[in-house]
Structure 1
Amino acid sequence: MFEAVIFDMDGVLIDSEPLHIQLEEEIFKEIGANVSFEEHISFVGTTSHYMWEYVKNKCNVPLTVEELVEMDRKRYIDYISKHDDAVKPIEGVGELVKELYSKKVKLAVASSSPIDVIELVVKRLKLKDYFNELVSGDFVKRSKPYPDIFLYAAEKLNVVPEKCIVVEDSNKGVLAAKSAGMKVVGFINPNSGNQDIKMADMIIQSFYDINYEKLMMIS
Structure 2
Amino acid sequence: MPAIKACLFDLDGVIVDTARFHYIAWRQLANDLGFDLSEEENEKLKGISRMESLEIILAIGGVELSEEEKSERAAVKNTRYLELCMQMTPDDTLPGVRRFLDELKSASIKIGLGSASKNAKVILDRIDMLSYFETIVDGNRVTKGKPDPQVFLMGAADLQTLPENSVVFEDAVAGVQSAKAAGMLAVGIGEKSVLTEADIVVPGFRDFQLADLLEAFEK
Q: What's the TM-score bracket when you normalise by the shorter of the two chains? A: 0.7 to 0.9
* Residue aligning to 1:166: 168
Structure 2 spans left out of the alignment, 5+ residues = none
- Map residues 67-146 of structure 1 onto 2, 5 A cutoff: 67-81=72-86, 83-84=87-88, 88-114=92-118, 117-146=119-148
CA change 1:136–1:195 in 2 (3 A) is farther
Indicate the residue corresponding to 1:22 in structure 2. Answer: 24
* Structure in which a larger fraction of residues adopt helix: 1
Structure 2 residue aligned with 1:209 = 207
Deviation at 1:38, TM superposition (A): 3.1
Secondary structure at the aligned position of 1:12 is classed as coil
Which amino acid is the alignment partner of residue 128 of structure 1? L
Distance 2:109 2:34 in 1: 47
1:87·1:121 contact (CA, 8 Å) conserved in 2?
no
Shift of residue 51, structure 1, vs aligned partner: 1.0
Distance 1:143 1:21, change over 3 A: same
Could you tell me how far 1:87 is from its partner in structure 2? 7.3
Return the letter of the residue paired with 1:74. T
What is the alpha-carbon distance in structure 2 between the residues aligned to residue 54 and residue 80 of structure 1? 23
**Separation of aligned partners in 2, 1:51 and 1:84:** 23
* Other structure's SS at 1:53 match: helix
Structure 2 counterpart SS, 1:84: coil
For 1:79, the aligned partner's letter is L
Shift, 1:86, TM fit: 9.7
For 1:172 and 1:32, how far apart are their aligned partners in 2? Answer: 29
Q: Which runs of 5+ in 1 are unaligned?
A: none
Relative to structure 1, the CA distance from residue 87 to residue 29 in structure 2 (aligned partners, 3 Å threshold; closer, same or farther) is farther
Residues 87 and 118 from structure 1, CA distance in 2 versus in 1: closer, same or farther, beyond 3 angstroms?
Answer: farther
* Per-residue deviation, 1:36: 4.9
Instruction: Give the counterpart letter for 1:19 in structure 2.
Output: F
Q: Which amino acid aligns with 2:212?
A: K
Q: Give the alignment partner of residue 180 of structure 1, picking from 157, 171, 182.
A: 182
Identical aligned residues as a percent: 27
1:73-100 per-position Cα deviation (integer Å, ceiling 9, x unaligned) = 111112222x235972110011101110
Are the aligned partners of 2:90 and 2:128 in contact in 1 as well (CA < 8 Å)?
no
Computed over aligned residues only, the root mean square deviation of the Cα atoms, in angstroms, reads 2.2
Q: Which amino acid aligns with 1:51?
A: S
Asked if 2 retains the 8 angstrom alpha-carbon contact of 1:91 and 1:206, the reply is: yes
Query: Structure 1 stretch 137-146 or stretch 34-43: which is displaced more?
Result: 34-43
Counterpart amino acid of 1:77? L
d(CA) in 2 for partners of 1:158, 1:68: 38
